[in-house]
Amino acid sequence: MISSHDQDSSVPLDESVTVGDIDAAAKRIGDGIYRSPCPPSIPLSELTGCDVFCKLDLLQRTGSFKERGARNALLLLNESQKNSGVIAASAGNHALGLAYHGKLLKIPVTVVMPRFAPLVKVATCRRLGATVLLHGETFDEARQHAVELASENRLRLIHGFDDVEIIAGQGTTAVEILEDVPDADAIIVPTGGAGLLAGVAIAAKARRPDIKIIAVEAAAAASFTASLAAGKPVDAPVRPTLADGLAVGRVGERAFALAAPRVDRVLTVDEQLLSLAVLRLLELEKTSCEGAGAAALAAIMGAAGQDLKGLKVVLLLCGGNIDPTVLHRVIDHGLAVDGRLWRFTATVSDRPGGMARLTQVIADAGASVLEINHDRAFSGPEVFSTTVEVTVETADQDHIDALNKQLHEAGFGVVPATGCH
């Protein structure tokens, strides 16, 4: 499911970050950032009906666009700040970007992460030479601790999405996009704290005032949408989401002021579309994309993307740091949403041949059994019957419907598992 919010163009422009700042950042960071490609995608164009191009910023060394702002901010430190070092609160990509470029530039980096931070990201930050401190159960607790440490130790605190240097650095993404696709009609920008959105909108609108800037949020963390409705940054509820990189409860004050008047539309996408988008990118583009990055594709896969059909659309695939165990679950969920996995329970005879009869019906329908779980002890009062839970691989939803019908006609009482269908 997708919902949308069309922006009010009457909001006054904030000029605390300008296109000149972004152009200067592009020159400043150019020798230390991968100039990611923005190729056309034939399969995604066929899938969506848009003329799709993919900005592959997930190919940065640490797997996300966050390196751009991090390097820009580090290069703009004065000598005293470079010697003292910097500190940031982050549970993911901002921490990785700072750690990596801090190591390259020989600037000490301290990162405060909440205790729930992914172990792989904690280990990677430490391997890159950053000092990692685990504090608090939530990101807000970690951020408050970082603020206190910055004051106590005279460290420069680098905000992940609301510092002018960060926003200018992120905006260099749009500079490259319009060099590669100068006639793009729209750029789809995944949005959490809105730093990337602000930078992209400033750079793109300065060059092409007619280009559409479309923000996309996870429905589970729609803080930009809530802030637009209120006319100022406000707290929004955050639920667990596959797009964990977008799970920000309050957009940045400066980022919102810069982005709000320049954004043409805001879309929100649910978890089913996010998981399906991750699967589509993996299958069609051979690209492993985290939920936040896949949000751009999710935005044009549903009904809200219908008015973009035939237009030249750039998807900003901004991050690829998805944990392998999460990716495994996402693939299964995406296959279920797509009608290619189906799970059901059925009661079968516990006499010889009972199970064979069930599997024969499944085989005759052209489905493939992936897993069967037997339950004799808790199958009810019938001693000579048993309940089985079956997971099958199917072609699509029509195939599931046909298999379900054949099972019922064969006398099996089938109960589909609750979830995606």
Listed as ranges, residues in the chain with pLDDT below 70 are 1-12, 375-384, 419-421
Q: Over the stretch 119-128, which tens digit does the pLDDT of each residue have?
A: 778 888 999 9
Long-range contacts of 397-406 (CB under 8 A, 24+ apart): 397/339, 397/421, 398/339, 399/339, 399/365, 399/366, 399/367, 400/339, 400/342, 402/365, 403/342, 403/362, 403/365, 403/367, 404/344, 406/361, 406/364, 406/365
Confirm if 400 and 394 have CB atoms less than 8 A apart. Answer: yes
Confirm if 20 and 64 have CB atoms less than 8 A apart. Answer: no
Residue 88 tokens, joined: 């940031």
Residue 384: per-residue pLDDT: 66
Percent of the chain as helix, strand, coil, to the nearest 5: 45, 20, 35
What would the CATH number be for the domain defined by 339-416? 3.30.70.260
| 353: DSSP letter | T
Q: What angle do CA 325, 90, 324 make, to 5 degrees?
A: 10
- Which of 100, 297, 274 shows the shortest CA–CA distance to 189? 297
C-alpha–C-alpha distance, residues 415 and 274, integer Å: 27
C-alpha–C-alpha distance, residues 218 and 200, integer Å: 19
Residue 316 tokens, joined: 């900003």
Q: What angle do CA 38, 43, 48 make, to 5 degrees?
A: 95
Ramachandran sector of residue 42 (left: φ over 0; alpha: ψ -120 to 50; beta: rest): alpha
CATH architecture of 2-63+168-323: 3-Layer(aba) Sandwich (3.40)
- Pairing between strand 186-190 and 312-317? parallel
- Fold classification of 86-154 is Rossmann fold (3.40.50)
Coil, helix or strand for 392?
strand
- Which of 230, 228, 252, 248 shows the shortest CA–CA distance to 238? 248
Residue 420: per-residue pLDDT: 53
Residue 11: per-residue pLDDT: 55
Could you tell me the CA-to-CA distances from 14 to 198, 227, 262 in Å, in that order?
10, 16, 10
Domain ranges of the chain: 2-63+168-323, 86-154, 339-416
Residue 140 tokens, joined: 């807000």
Beta bridge partners of 316: 55
**Do 86-154 and 2-63+168-323 have the same topology in CATH?**
yes
Residue 167: per-residue pLDDT: 98
